[in-house]
Amino acid sequence: MQNITILGSTGSIGTSTLDVVERHPERFRVFALTAYRQVDVLFEQCVRFQPKYAVLLDAAAVAEMRDRVRAAGLNTEVLSGVDALEQVCVDAGVDAVMAAIVGAAGLRPTLAAARAGKKILLANKETLVMAGNVFMDAVRASGSALLPIDSEHNAIFQALPRGYDGNMQTHGVRRILLTASGGPFRDTPLSGLQNVTPEQACAHPNWVMGRKISVDSASMMNKGLEVIEAHWLFNAGADDIQVLVHPQSVIHSLVEYVDGSVLAQLGNPDMRTPIAYGLAYPERIDSGVAALDLLKVASMDFVAPDFARFPCLGLAYAALRAAGTAPAILNAANEVAVEAFLNKQIAFPAIPQVIETVLNQLPVCAVHDLDDVLEADAQARLAARAQLGR
C-alpha cells in the first residue's frame, strides 16, 4: 500500500491521479491533498478520499475549509501555507508525492520531498527548469526514486533501456525526440496571432489542461521547458534533443539509437496513462484509458517546428545553453507574461518579447543552491513587470 501526497490535487493532473488511485484502493491511499484556494473541489475530494491532511495556501480559503470539514465530521486536518506543503511531503507516513503544482510554487515542496528520499512523480516542470542541478543533486543524495509524469518524458523513460544511468553513449542512445502537438495556432497566419484571445489559446486541440499550461502549449514554451527538463532527467545536451511537431499527439516521444532503431511510446492523449505507469512502476496497471485504435488514427504527421512562429522554443534552447540562472529567468519572465496575456493586458506575440528582453537584461549567474534560484526568479519577475509597466 502506497500512501500518496498530491500537490495540486484540484488541477487536471491531480484529478487524473485521483481517478487512477480510486481504481486501485488495494494499492494506494491518499495521505494529503493540496490546493491554492479551490475549496469546493478540495472538500469534495476530502469527502471521497478521507486524507489525513488537506492544505490550502489562501488564508480565507483555509478558514472556510476548516468550517466545512468540521461540519461534515471529517477526520482531515486542514493546514495552511508553503511550510505545510513541505510538511505533507516529508512526513514519515508518505511513500510517494505527486508534484503537480503549476509554476514556481511547486519548487520548495518538491525539493523537500527529494531531500526526504520520497518517490517523486514529477509533473511540475519548473522544479527542473529553475533548479535542475539542485534538485537532481538532492535526488541522488537521498536515493529518491524520480519518475517523470509529463507524457513526453514518461514516454522517453519507457523507451530508454531499463537501468539507464544518464550515459547516452554507453547505452547506445543517439538522441531524444520530443513530440509537440503545435497547439491551437500551428496553422494560424503569423499576422493573425496579434489578435488571438486567451480563450482561443486555452482551447487545446488534443489535451485538457489548465489555463497557464495551455497558453504555454500555444506558444510552445511548454515544449521549451520540456527540452530543459529532458536535459536534467536524461543527461542530454541541447543538441541531443530534437522537437518534432506531431499534430495527432499519438506518439508521445521517441528515443533514437546508434544502430538506427527508433523506439516510440504511443497511446491516446490522456494523462492517466503516464500517471498509472509512475504510480505502479515497474508494474503496469489499468489506467482507465481506452485502447489506442491505430486503424482509427490512420495516419501520423511530423514537421519541424517553426521558430519564427514559436520564438519561445528558441528562447528555451538559448536558456539551456546559457545554463546557470538563465532557465529560472526564462521561466519567471514567462509566468509574468502569460498572466498578463490571460488578463488581456498584452497581446499573444508580446509574451516572447517580454521574455527575451528580460533574458537580455539580467546577468546569468551560477547556481550553487536554492537561494541563487529564488533570487534570479525574483529579479526576473521584477524586470518582467517593469516591462509591462506594473
In tens, the pLDDT along 241-280 reads 999 999 988 999 999 999 999 999 999 989 999 999 999 9
Closest CA to 280 of 95, 84, 117: 95
Packing angle between helix 272-280 and helix 12-23, nearest 10 degrees? 60
Q: What is the pLDDT of residue 207?
A: 59
Residue 76 per-residue DSSP state = -
Q: Which helix (H) or strand (E) holds 87?
A: helix 82-90
CB atoms within 10 A of CB 350: 16
- Per residue in 315-343, pLDDT tens? 999 999 999 999 999 999 999 999 999 99
Average pLDDT over residues 356-365: 96
Is the Cβ–Cβ distance between 9 and 265 less than 8 Å? no
Q: What is the mean pLDDT of the chain?
A: 93
Q: The whole model's pTM is what? A: 0.90
Q: Indicate where the chain has its CATH 3.40.50.720 domain(s).
A: 2-148
Residues of the chain with CATH 1.10.1740.10: 323-390
Residue 347's pLDDT is what? 94
Burial letters for 232-242: b for 16+ Cβ neighbours within 10 Å, e otherwise? bbbebebebbe
Q: Is the pLDDT of residue 209 over 80?
A: no
pLDDT per position as a tens digit, 168-184: 999 999 999 999 988 88
Indicate the class that CATH gives domain 323-390.
mainly alpha
CATH architecture of 2-148: 3-Layer(aba) Sandwich (3.40)
